[in-house]
Amino acid sequence: MFLRKCRLSKNERDEAAALGIKVVNDTIKHIAGRRGGLPKELICTGGRRYSADVVFYKLGYHVQSKLAERLGCKLDERYVKVGSEQQMTMPSVYAAGDVDTDRHFVVLAAAAGARVAISIYEKLLKEAVKAKVEGHKSL
């Protein structure tokens, strides 16, 4: 595990060691590999080289939750609180993307956006059907 500008607690270091994970505090400068193949080597700014089979990376990320806060939505640590359909704690306010989790992957953000779209569509459809039924009853 490569860390840059981040330090692990003693407990986190112990857990990593118990799992056989080597922790390196350095910056990766280059990922070398065969053309079209898997990564083979990580080259750090200090010149040290490490072999690798797979590389996952996490960029620095800060959730932009000020608007949600101003709207009166509840936050859980730094993230907005949502229900199963991505609705926030205020009615008709939804969270699309990855503002409700510490897992920042494009595929998860896109999935959350899709859940929001479906939730809003279903809510509007229910309201339209209800209005139509109530309008029909008054005839």
3 three-class SS: strand
Domains, in order of start, for the chain: 2-51 (no CATH), 66-137 (3.50.50.60)
d(CA 65, CA 80): 7
pTM metric for this prediction: 0.56
Neighbours of 101 (CB within 10 A): 17
Q: What tens digit of pLDDT does each residue of 43-78 get? A: 998 889 988 877 777 666 777 888 888 988 888 877
**Which run of H or E residues covers position 107?**
helix 106-137
Q: Which of these ranges, 13-17, 23-27, 56-60, 61-65, has the smallest mean pLDDT?
A: 56-60
Nearest to 69 by CA among 79, 61, 57, 60: 79
